[in-house]
Structure 1
């Protein structure tokens, strides 16, 4: 590398203990300068050209910013983060995944609706706003359902419910907190296997089509076997 050349500068929005940041940092050694950024540090200064920063101005500091997931936050916080990344993209910084695509990816209802509309096989799912409607859905989808937050990732806030009394308490609490109630029919499966294995060809093909449907560059998809040689795409 000559004195006039420099390594690409890549920012990664991630938590301090993020495994994927450390893996990207390892993979980028000698190829790129990889630095972790905090979502909570994102801020904007408007007056003339808008300045998006996280400790320092991002458009002056990075060639690209990688966004794999969205940490928990209020609706206002999530919307601001997406808007700030969109402003940074308009200033010429490559954002992966693009903010418009991330808006769909982090919204379980919107992404599942789009996938089902495109013909992907997804679990039967009910999304509602009152505990009464949720209980009716529980009776229909039961005897076991999985309750998930619409915004969230990495398994946070997921609960399996297979008891009517527990369902009643959970759904009432979610309504009192002003949360949308998202429940999926539980799909029986043989359990988890932590041993890395090759991805079956048919799953890889479905995964690539799903990524294209959601207009994503980087994605993590959850599949479950149906016990009959087929697969469900969970999210």
Structure 2
């Protein structure tokens, strides 16, 4: 397949973030096309494998920025990740690539890799079947947070204190991802920290303060500015590096002993709430890293916008 000289921005639908990224990329002299991952196709046959992107005439982009993979069936999401893998195989830089997305989206893999790398994170156990989950709760004791393995934005979280609190298997697709509950520093201190990492450095951070234990912005938490430096920022950068993420939103919580624990690493993070309190333009920082470190550093021919 012939090489195209335009960047590709993959986004599931028009949202607050996508046009800002598009403008920031093109402001750096790089033509940028927006497409949905569901519109891309894998090709095989006698002429060799390739990827079809609508509007590109069978040519490859200079690089791919993944804003979102999108929801779908197991088969649909597998195909979209397969497209990202194919881009990488064909020599097209992908930001974030399929491996980083897979490691971050699957919370069990995230926890495993962070623990193996010595990144402090709450104890987690991921098990199939309610009986196995009940045995874990009974053996380890204490309180856990049950999280959807592929969930986001604070949806579907449950606090589990006893085996009887576990929901039926059909509500969790048969998989129980249990993360040790980290209590607040005081009874009303429901807060955590989001650090936005781009190109190996923390560019912005915020404290999310809620009225209950779920402190996601989509669940009503308030955003407060926080420094993008210090132990929490260094830990976030290290976590993103372990998972191979070009950019990431890293969620951390205070451990009650003066340190921090990494809760999750998001490979396709939103930043609308963060932008309201951040001293930097997040879209501009992302575009700068994507264009300078990924596209121009690869010395690929470019088409000026």
TM-score when scaled to structure 2? Answer: 0.64
Structure 1 range deviating more: 89-98 or 17-26: 17-26
The one-character-per-residue Cα deviations of 1:143-175 (angstroms, maximum 9, x if unpaired) are 6432222224344x431234658733x243246
Q: 1:112, 1:34 → 2: CA distance?
A: 35
User: How has the CA–CA distance of structure 1 residues 25 and 136 changed in structure 2, closer, same or farther, with 3 Å as cutoff?
Assistant: same
Q: Is the 8 A contact 1:174 1:180 kept in 2?
A: no
Q: 1:42, 1:139 → 2: CA distance?
A: 47
For this pair of structures, how many residues does the alignment match? 224
TM-align CA RMSD: 2.7
Match of 2:27 in 1: 30
Q: 1:147, 1:63 → 2: CA distance?
A: 41
User: How has the CA–CA distance of structure 1 residues 124 and 95 changed in structure 2, closer, same or farther, with 3 Å as cutoff?
Assistant: same
Q: Which consecutive unaligned segments of at least 5 residues does structure 1 have? A: 1-7
Q: Is the 8 A contact 1:51 1:57 kept in 2?
A: no
Residue 131 of structure 1 and its aligned partner are, at CA, apart by 0.4
Aligned pair partner of 1:224 in 235, 243, 253: 253
TM-score when scaled to structure 1? Answer: 0.81
Match of 2:298 in 1: none
Match of 1:66 in 2: 65
SS of 1:207's partner is helix
Q: Which consecutive unaligned segments of at least 5 residues does structure 2 have? A: 191-208, 210-221, 265-305
Q: 2:26, 2:231 → 1: CA distance?
A: 33
Q: Is the 8 A contact 2:12 2:69 kept in 1?
A: no
Q: Is the 8 A contact 2:41 2:51 kept in 1?
A: yes
Q: Is the 8 A contact 1:12 1:35 kept in 2?
A: yes
The one-character-per-residue Cα deviations of 1:173-198 (angstroms, maximum 9, x if unpaired) are 246x4x32112122223222402322
Q: Is the 8 A contact 1:222 1:233 kept in 2?
A: yes
Q: Is the 8 A contact 2:8 2:64 kept in 1?
A: yes
Residue 52 of structure 1 and its aligned partner are, at CA, apart by 1.3
Aligned pair partner of 1:12 in 9, 14, 20: 9
Match of 2:149 in 1: 150
Q: Is the 8 A contact 1:41 1:55 kept in 2?
A: yes
Q: Is the 8 A contact 1:62 1:93 kept in 2?
A: yes
Match of 1:4 in 2: none
Matched, 1:196 2:195: no
1:172-183 pair list within 5 angstroms:
172-174=169-171, 177=173, 179-183=174-178
1:29-48 pair list within 5 angstroms:
29-31=26-28, 32-47=30-45, 48=47
Q: 2:13, 2:131 → 1: CA distance?
A: 40
Q: Which has the higher strand share?
A: 2
Match of 1:100 in 2: 99
Residue 222 of structure 1 and its aligned partner are, at CA, apart by 0.9
User: How has the CA–CA distance of structure 1 residues 229 and 141 changed in structure 2, closer, same or farther, with 3 Å as cutoff?
Assistant: same
SS of 1:128's partner is strand
More RCO (CA 8 Å, sep 6+): 2
Q: 1:58, 1:137 → 2: CA distance?
A: 53
Q: Is the 8 A contact 1:105 1:111 kept in 2?
A: yes
Q: Is the 8 A contact 1:12 1:65 kept in 2?
A: yes
